[in-house]
Structure 1
Amino acid sequence: MDLSKKLIAGLMLSACVLALGLAGCGGQKAAGPAKETVLKVGSDTAYAPFEFQDEKSKEYVGFDMDLIQAIGKQIGAKVEVQSMNFDGLIPALEAGNIDAAISAMTITEERAQKVNFSKPYYKSGLTIVVKSDNNVIKGFKDLEGKKIAVQIGTTGADEAKKVKDAQIREFNTAPEAFMELKAGGVDAVINDRPVNDYYIKEAGGKDAKQVGDPLTSEDYGIAVAKKNTELAEKINKAIDELKKNGEFDKIYQKWFGTKS
C-alpha cells in the first residue's frame, strides 16, 4: 500500500470513529438506555378505602394503590393505573389491554377459570348496610322482598340475587349504591365489609349502619391473564417480600388502623 492510500485509509478510519464513537464502523447503533418496564394495572377507582381518586391531588389512592405501587417497586416496574368499571377488568386482562387488575377482587372459582390470581392479600366478607332509622332489616333473612343496591359484577351482586323476591338495583360504583340508599331508593346495600366500614366512618354514622353477621368470608387477590404465569409468580414473590420486610403492615395500618 503506497503512502497516499495509507493516508486515505487513516482519514476514513478517523472519520468513522468520530461519527460513530463507541458504536464502531459497521453500521451498528450505539446501545441506548434500558427500556423501563411498565406494569399496566386496571382498577375500579371508586371503591374506598381500596382505590379512589383524591379530591385535591386527583391521584388514585387507597390500600390497593399503595400495595400495587410497592409491588411494582419490588419487581422493578413502573406502575400505570387505568381506571375502569369493575365488570370490565377481566375482559381487559383477556384482551391484553392491561397486565394486572387490583380492585378488591374476591378470588372465586368462576373467576379463576378466566384469570390467574395471586395469593390472597386481604380477607374480607359481605355485610348489609341500611339507613340508620331502619329497624326492620336485622339480617340476611329480612331482605326477602326488599329493594337491594349492589355494585355490578361483584360477589355482593351474586349474593343479593339469591334473596327471594328481592328487587336488585345494580350500579357501576359502590358510592352510587350508597347514594341510592341515602335517597331512599333501596332498602339495603350488600357490599364488602371494609368498604361499608369506610362509608359509615366518612358519613359519621348518621346516614347508615351495618346489620347482621358477615354473609361470607372472602379473600382478595391480584388478577393477571391466564397465560401470564410468570407475572403471577413475580407478584407472589413481591407480596412475600413486602410482608417479610414490614412494608405490607405499614400500608395495612395506614388504611385500616391495625396490622394485618
Structure 2
Amino acid sequence: MTALSARRRTLAAGAVLVAGALLLTGCGDDDKKDDVKSTPSGGTAPTSAGASAPPAGGALFVKLPKQYQDSKVVKIGSEVAYPPVEFKDKDGKTFIGFDIDLAKAIGEKLGVKVEIEDMTFGSLITGLDSKRIDLIMSAMSDNKDRQTGMDEGKKVGDGIDFVDYFNAGGSILVKKGNPQNIKTLDDLCGKTVALQKATTHEETANKQSDKCKADGKGAITIQAYEHDNEALLRVKQGAAAADISDFPVAAYAAQTGGDGNDFEVVGEQIDPGPYGIGVAKNNSQLRDVVKEAVEQLIADGTYGKILEKWNVKQGAVTEVKINGGS
C-alpha cells in the first residue's frame, strides 16, 4: 500500500507497548474523556451511556445534508491507536486524543452526535467510499494522490476531499542517547528502520533507501508493521536504528516512553504538511459545513484549547483549507 491507503502515520489498542508509559500525564481531563468509547471491530462507538445528541436546529445544522438532519448522527472512521492524536485510555475502551476532542467539538457545532468507529487505517478510504462512515479523522495526510485517487501512478478511485485542520511533518525517533548518532535521513543508509506500514513514512524510507543506493551507500532495511507500537518496540530493543513517525506522535513517545528514558527525537521535521478530515467527493455539502465548524472552533478558541491540552499547538492552523496538500 502507498499514498492512497496511508497516513503520515500509530500505537495499537491491545498492545500499548509502553503501557501507561505512553499515556501523557494530565493530558486527558477526567471529566471529558468518557464521551466516546470503543466497540469491537466492525461496530460503531457510541457516545457515553446516557449521552444525548446536542440540540439540533442551529445555523450549521440547517446547512447539513438532509440525511444528517434526519439521523442527527455523523459517523467518523479512525484508527484509534495513535497517541496523542487518537488512542484508547487506560481502560482499553474510552477513546481520547486531540482528534477525538476535535471530532466531538465539531459535532457540537453541527448539532449532531458523532459516532467514532475504530478501523484499520488502510480500510478508512474504502469505508468512506462504501458509505460505512461519513468522515475520516485519523491523522491522515492530505496529498494529491489521495485527492485524485492515484496509487503508484495508477487511477484506483475517485479520490476524496480534505478539510485541513492541522500541520505535521515526519520525525526520526531513536533510542535514548542516540547510540548510532543519527541526525538526518542520510544517516539511515545501511541501517534498519522500523515503521508503520501503509504510511507516507514508509514511502519516505523507500525513497531514501533508493537515494542511499544511488549514492553508493547501503540500502535501508525497512521493517513495516501494522502498528507503530511494534516499530517502537524494535527501536527500544535495539533491533532497529530508528522509527519514522509524525512529529506529535514521535514527541509524545519520547516524552512518555519509559518515563522519557526510552526514546528521543532527532533532526528536523520531514516534509511537513496538513492533516485533513476526509470527505467523499460526492459529499461536498457535508465537507463545506465541516469546514465552517472548524473555522468557528478556531475563532472561538476551542480549537486552540484542545491542541494546548494535548501539547500539539505547534501544528495549529489559522486558515482552514480544502485540499491544501500537495
1:187 Cα offset (Å): 1.3
Match of 2:160 among 115, 131, 145: 115
1:148 paired with 2:186, answer no
Match of 1:4 in 2: none
Output the CA distance in 1 between the equivalents of 2:230 and 2:96: 19
- Gap runs ≥5 in structure 2: 1-68, 149-158, 210-218, 317-326
Amino acid at match of 2:203: D
Question: What stretches of structure 1 move > 3 A for 4+ residues in a row?
Answer: 257-260
Match of 2:102 in 1: 67
1:197 paired with 2:241, answer no
1:207 paired with 2:262, answer yes
Amino acid at match of 1:147: T
RMSD of aligned alpha carbons: 1.6
Match of 1:94 in 2: 129
Contact 2:180–2:241 (8 Å) recurs in 1: no
1:36 Cα offset (Å): 3.7
Output the CA distance in 2 between the equivalents of 1:98 and 1:185: 38
Contact 1:36–1:78 (8 Å) recurs in 2: no
Any residues of structure 2 matched to 1:1-260 within 5 Å, and which? 35-56=70-91, 58-113=93-148, 114-118=159-163, 120-133=164-177, 134-164=179-209, 165-203=219-257, 204-256=259-311, 258=313, 260=316
Output the CA distance in 1 between the equivalents of 2:131 and 2:201: 27
1:200 Cα offset (Å): 0.8
1:258 Cα offset (Å): 4.7
1:35 Cα offset (Å): 4.7
1:57 Cα offset (Å): 6.8
What TM-score does the superposition give when structure 2 sets the normalisation length? 0.66
Higher helix share: 1
Amino acid at match of 1:160: A
- Check 1:76–1:217 CA distance in 2 against 1; reply closer, same or farther (3 A cut): same
Tell me the SS of whatever aligns to 2:74.
Answer: strand
Tell me the SS of whatever aligns to 2:292.
Answer: helix
Output the CA distance in 2 between the equivalents of 1:191 and 1:185: 17
1:103 Cα offset (Å): 0.7
Contact 1:86–1:172 (8 Å) recurs in 2: no
Tell me the SS of whatever aligns to 1:74.
Answer: helix
Q: Answer with 1 or 2: which has the greater Rg.
A: 1
- Gap runs ≥5 in structure 1: 1-33
Contact 2:248–2:312 (8 Å) recurs in 1: no
Aligned pair count? 226
Tell me the SS of whatever aligns to 1:230.
Answer: helix
Identity %: 36
1:139 Cα offset (Å): 1.2
